[in-house]
């Protein structure tokens, strides 16, 4: 018999441990005597038939390593099939210019070209989407930048919107929100399904970070824009968090509740600021450190839990999904959409797959204007998975990690096919410990599977 390499043990309470296997998705409370039985199986000793059967049924034990590998590849195949079926998101970058100079922005001055995508390139973009999209799904065109919703981009945004309206395609926009009040009269709610706006805290905190070129703050303008937009289009609020502003989350949650935003079509989430490719931003915190702080706030300040979702936080996301929906996240064979199907098209006719690397031609994966032509980078990005990164193949948390961020791996080790380890076990440990009473109650109802 073979004890799964994916079994993870977490010390939760003095006398209680949790065993979690991300391949089978099973999670149970496990006691010392059962751990000893698992150890016996590992060393080839016999254990009671009913104990063995229980371990096998939960995916903690397989007949052989080959059986576990077969199961891994069966799930991977399912994942690949699901990816082929899903409706794609195509990122449209009509300008790299921006009206803010945020302290942690990944774009340097040389990238802030004031040019805007012309009609010829835009029309070729739509022709390309027609060619590439899944035939049975509705594509979603997502405006990105630079800042996509500046007043001077209005003509380009309207052109894209009219095209999508004719085709019945959906649109999203990720904006800094500075001109959102103006755009709320322009954006058609039949086309735009959601606007994502970034606000980094209350005025005092936000205005230190998300500033205009003259150093003044952008908070008041953005808040007015969100108020107006919420009258017709759902808003997703992203809060970029690091050492500088994390302590402000409880007060910011109070502000959001006072505004009444979360009673509307509104959703807020927290995202860690990352230092990618030469940003040298000194306030970054490791994800698990932010998570540690977040759990402290969730315990002390109920408004934080009410307002902010923990989606995207490895561990926390998975456990809260288990509590809400009774299912864990499926295994992660790849780190992010850049390794799956993400395509970003810019005003110069270049195509990219990683949103942090757009505008850096050396990382482009091809051209779509004047003609669609992918280069060898496309295959390299898409093939990056836990099976193609040598260090990741036998790692026992690979299906939780997916190999880590490719851009950071590239920066640190010079190769896409290198690992960028994430402290996924630490994040899960924090999450299981935080949610343990709820998990235990759920387990008692026999709903954990
Ligand atoms: S490769 Fe890294 S930086 Fe690029 S989109 Fe994926 S997670 Fe983000
Ligand atoms: S990047 Fe590190 S933690 Fe992630 S799968 Fe690879 S070896 Fe494991």
pLDDT tens per residue across span 172-190: 999 999 999 999 999 999 9
Mean pLDDT across 300-328: 85
Burial of 91: CB neighbours in 10 Å, binned 0-12, 13-18, 19+: buried
- Pairing mode of beta strands 16-21, 26-30: antiparallel
Give the CATH number, domain containing residue 267.
3.20.20.70
Decide if pLDDT at 83 tops 90: no
Q: Is 52 in the pocket of ligand 2 (CB under 6 A)?
A: no
Same structural domain, 149 and 289? yes
Q: Is 145 in the pocket of ligand 2 (CB under 6 A)?
A: no
Residues 400, 10: contact at Cβ < 8 Å? Answer: no
Q: Is 395 in the pocket of ligand 2 (CB under 6 A)?
A: yes
Write out the residue range of the structural domain in which residue 164 sits: 90-309+336-376
Q: Is 96 a domain residue?
A: yes
Helix runs in 242-387, H state only? 249-259, 287-300, 302-307, 316-325, 376-382
Same structural domain, 159 and 205? yes
Same structural domain, 372 and 388? no
Distance from residue 297's CA to the centre of ligand 1 (Å):
28
Q: Is 251 a domain residue?
A: yes
Q: Is 427 in the pocket of ligand 2 (CB under 6 A)?
A: no
Q: Which of 376, 406, 424 is the last residue of a domain?
A: 376
Q: Is 256 a domain residue?
A: yes
Same structural domain, 264 and 398? no
Same structural domain, 407 and 372? no
Q: Which of 328, 350, 376 is the last residue of a domain?
A: 376
State the first-to-last Cα distance of the chain, in angstroms, to the nearest integer: 23
Top mutation candidate among 271, 335, 406, 421 for ligand 1, by most atoms within 8 Å of CB: 406
Q: Is 160 in the pocket of ligand 1 (CB under 6 A)?
A: no
Residue 108's pLDDT is: 72
Same structural domain, 178 and 293? yes
Q: Which atom of ligand 2 is nearest to the CA of 403?
A: 1
Q: Is 355 in the pocket of ligand 1 (CB under 6 A)?
A: yes
Mean pLDDT across 307-330: 82
Q: Is 153 a domain residue?
A: yes
Residue 449's pLDDT is: 42
Decide if pLDDT at 76 tops 90: yes
Q: Is 237 a domain residue?
A: yes
Same structural domain, 150 and 191? yes
Share of the chain above pLDDT 70, in %: 98
Residue 278's pLDDT is: 60
Residues 210, 218: contact at Cβ < 8 Å? Answer: yes
Give the contacts of 219 (CB within 8 A, at least 6 positions apart).
Answer: 199, 202, 203, 206, 207, 210
Closest CA to 153 of 222, 217, 97: 97
Q: Which atom of ligand 1 is nearest to the CA of 337?
A: 6
Mean pLDDT across 314-328: 81
Q: Which atom of ligand 2 is nearest to the CA of 404?
A: 1
Q: Say how far apart CA 257 and CA 271 lie, in whole Å.
A: 20
Phi-psi region of 125 (alpha: psi -120 to 50; beta: other; left: phi over 0): alpha
Confidence of residue 415 (pLDDT cuts 50, 70, 90): very high
Q: Is 358 in the pocket of ligand 1 (CB under 6 A)?
A: no
Q: Is 141 a domain residue?
A: yes
Residue 447's pLDDT is: 46
Residues 89, 134: contact at Cβ < 8 Å? Answer: no
Same structural domain, 99 and 49? no
Interval 261-313: pLDDT, tens: 999 999 999 998 877 766 667 788 888 888 899 999 988 999 998 999 888 78
Mean pLDDT across 212-241: 97
Q: Is 31 a domain residue?
A: yes
* Between residues 383 and 445, the one the model is more confident about: 383
Sign of torsion over alpha carbons 157, 159, 165, 171: negative
Q: Is 320 a domain residue?
A: no
Top mutation candidate among 279, 335, 363 for ligand 1, by most atoms within 8 Å of CB: 335
Same structural domain, 290 and 203? yes
Confidence of residue 340 (pLDDT cuts 50, 70, 90): very high
The DSSP result for 19-64, as a single string, is: EEETTTTEEEEE-HHHHHHHHHHHTT----HHHHHHHHHTTSEES-
Distance from residue 427's CA to the centre of ligand 2 (Å):
14
Q: Which of 376, 400, 430 is the last residue of a domain?
A: 376
Beta bridge partner(s), residue 214: none
Q: Say how far apart CA 86 and CA 65 lie, in whole Å.
A: 32
Distance from residue 419's CA to the centre of ligand 1 (Å):
13
Same structural domain, 219 and 261? yes
Residue nearest to atom 7 of ligand 2 (CA): 392
Closest CA to 92 of 137, 157, 154: 157
Same structural domain, 262 and 398? no
Residue 172's pLDDT is: 98
Residue nearest to atom 2 of ligand 1 (CA): 405
Distance from residue 254's CA to the centre of ligand 1 (Å):
32
* Between residues 328 and 22, the one the model is more confident about: 22
Same structural domain, 299 and 430? no
Residue 199's pLDDT is: 97
Q: Is 338 in the pocket of ligand 1 (CB under 6 A)?
A: yes
Q: Which atom of ligand 2 is nearest to the CA of 409?
A: 1
Q: 225 phi and psi, to 5 degrees?
A: -65, -40
Q: Is 400 in the pocket of ligand 1 (CB under 6 A)?
A: no
How many structural domains comprise the chain? 2
Residue 443's pLDDT is: 75
Decide if pLDDT at 251 tops 80: yes
Query: What is the average pLDDT score of the chain?
Result: 92
Supply the Cα-derived Rg of the chain in whole angstroms.
Answer: 24
Distance from residue 424's CA to the centre of ligand 2 (Å):
9
Closest CA to 309 of 348, 253, 379: 253
Q: Is 392 in the pocket of ligand 2 (CB under 6 A)?
A: yes
Q: Is 406 in the pocket of ligand 1 (CB under 6 A)?
A: yes
Residue 322's pLDDT is: 83
Residue with tokens 């805290």: 201
Top mutation candidate among 272, 336, 404 for ligand 1, by most atoms within 8 Å of CB: 336
Query: Of 132-136, 234-238, 258-262, 359-363, which gets the smallest average pLDDT?
Result: 132-136
Residue 445's pLDDT is: 59
């Amino acid at each position: 018999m073979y004890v799964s390499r994916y079994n993870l043990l977490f010390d939760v309470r003095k006398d209680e441990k949790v065993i979690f296997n991300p391949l089978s998705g099973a999670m149970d409370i496990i006691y010392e005597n059962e751990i000893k039985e698992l150890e016996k199986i590992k060393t080839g000793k016999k254990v009671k038939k009913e104990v063995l059967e229980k371990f096998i049924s939960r995916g903690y034990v397989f007949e052989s390593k080959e059986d576990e590998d077969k199961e891994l590849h069966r799930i991977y195949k399912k994942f690949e099939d699901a990816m082929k079926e899903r409706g794609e998101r195509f990122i449209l970058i009509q300008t790299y210019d921006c009206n803010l100079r945020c302290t942690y922005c990944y774009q340097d001055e040389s990238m802030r070209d004031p040019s805007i995508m012309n009609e010829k390139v835009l029309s070729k973009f739509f022709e390309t989407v027609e060619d590439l999209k899944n035939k049975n799904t509705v594509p979603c065109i997502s405006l990105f930048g630079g800042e996509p919703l500046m007043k001077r981009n209005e003509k380009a945004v309207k052109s894209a919107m009219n095209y999508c309206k004719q085709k019945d395609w959906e649109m999203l926009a990720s904006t800094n929100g500075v001109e959102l009040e103006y755009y709320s009269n322009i954006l058609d709610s039949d086309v735009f399904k959601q606007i994502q706006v970034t606000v980094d805290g209350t005025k005092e905190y936000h205005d230190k970070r998300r500033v205009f070129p003259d150093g003044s703050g952008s908070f008041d303008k953005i808040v007015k824009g969100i108020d107006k937009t919420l009258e017709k289009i759902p808003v997703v609020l992203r809060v970029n968090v690091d050492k500088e502003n994390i302590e402000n989350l409880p007060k910011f949650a109070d502000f959001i509740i006072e505004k009444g935003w979360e009673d509307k079509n509104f959703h807020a989430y927290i995202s860690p600021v990352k230092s990618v490719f030469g940003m040298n931003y000194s306030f970054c915190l490791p994800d698990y450190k932010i998570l540690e702080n977040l759990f402290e706030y969730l315990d002390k300040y109920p408004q934080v839990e009410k307002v902010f979702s923990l989606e995207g936080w490895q561990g926390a996301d998975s456990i809260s999904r288990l509590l809400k929906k009774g299912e864990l996240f499926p295994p992660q064979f790849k780190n992010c959409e850049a390794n799956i199907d993400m395509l970003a098209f810019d005003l110069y006719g270049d195509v990219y797959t990683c949103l942090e690397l757009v505008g850096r031609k050396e990382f482009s994966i091809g051209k779509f204007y004047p003609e669609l032509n992918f280069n060898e980078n496309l295959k390299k990005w898409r093939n990056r998975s836990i099976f193609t990164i040598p260090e990741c193949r036998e790692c026992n948390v690979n299906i939780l990690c997916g190999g880590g961020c490719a851009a950071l791996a590239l920066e640190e080790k010079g190769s896409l096919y290198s690992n960028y380890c994430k402290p996924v076990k630490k994040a899960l440990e924090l999450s299981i410990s935080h949610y343990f009473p709820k998990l235990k109650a759920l387990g008692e109802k026999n709903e954990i599977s």
